[in-house]
């Protein structure tokens, strides 16, 4: 059976039309990359200024309390140095022990203050950071980005939900489970 030129052309067009979509599915899709700067975004929040003010006030309060403790320590140390030659050995030991206890209390206080400031910072700023992350995700999905990088922190903050997890393939290639 000999095909006419017209039938051959029609069959060729038919095959071509149905093979293009199948062929194009194997090609990589266009990758859309974007970036953000989360520190810059965080600084733009009006709520951040109030949070920063609260943290500064808290820090200043801790600093004042530590200064009071330091003044008490300095006075006791000065008294000890001034009168040590006239003190009985038991009194000297007791005062040295008091000084050591004050030093330990100041150290513990500084550690507690640092932990509290870090905790308060997290409590005040974490909701803002979460809002930023949600907005990045929404923008990534709405704009069709494949990946969004954070310039402030060398990490990827968004990967398209359609991304394929290649870990199983890499594990297989490495021969690990």
Q: What is the pLDDT of residues 40-98, one digit of tens each?
A: 999 998 899 999 999 999 999 999 999 999 999 999 999 999 999 999 999 999 999 99
- pLDDT for the residue numbered 115: 98
List the 155-159 sheet strands across, edge first.
33-36, 147-150, 155-159
Residue 45, in any domain of the structure: yes
Total domains, the chain: 1
Residue 86, in any domain of the structure: yes
What residue numbers bound the domain in which 110 lies?
38-143
For residues 118 and 4, the answer to whether their CB atoms sit within 8 Å is: no
For residues 150 and 38, the answer to whether their CB atoms sit within 8 Å is: yes
H-helix segments, 46-175: 46-83, 89-143, 167-174
Residue 77, in any domain of the structure: yes
Residue 177, in any domain of the structure: no
Over range 96-101, report the average pLDDT.
Answer: 96
H-helix segments, 46-88: 46-83
Binning pLDDT at 50, 70 and 90, where does residue 157 land?
confident
Binning pLDDT at 50, 70 and 90, where does residue 28 land?
low
Residue 81, in any domain of the structure: yes
Residue 51, in any domain of the structure: yes
Compute the distance between CA of residue 30 and CA of residue 33 in angstroms, rounded to an integer.
10
Q: What is the pTM of this model?
A: 0.65
Of 102, 39, 22, the C-alpha closest to 68 is 102
Give the lowest-confidence range in 55-69, 135-149, 158-172.
158-172
Residue 118, in any domain of the structure: yes
């Amino acid at each position: 059976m000999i095909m006419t030129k017209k039938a051959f052309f029609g069959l060729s067009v038919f095959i071509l039309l149905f093979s293009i979509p199948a062929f194009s599915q194997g090609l990589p899709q266009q990758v859309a990359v974007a970036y953000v700067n989360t520190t810059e975004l965080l600084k733009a929040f009006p709520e951040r200024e109030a949070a920063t003010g609260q943290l500064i006030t808290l820090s200043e309060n801790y600093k004042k309390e530590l200064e009071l403790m330091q003044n008490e320590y300095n006075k006791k140390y000065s008294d000890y140095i001034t009168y040590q030659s006239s003190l009985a050995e038991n009194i000297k030991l007791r005062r040295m022990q008091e000084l050591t206890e004050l030093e330990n209390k100041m150290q513990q206080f500084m550690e507690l203050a640092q932990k509290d400031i870090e905790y308060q910072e997290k409590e005040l700023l974490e909701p803002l950071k979460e809002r930023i992350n949600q907005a990045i995700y929404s923008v990534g999905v709405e704009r069709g980005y494949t990946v969004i990088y954070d310039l402030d922190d060398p990490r990827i903050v968004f990967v398209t939900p359609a991304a394929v997890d290649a870990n199983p393939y890499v594990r297989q290639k490495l021969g690990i489970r």
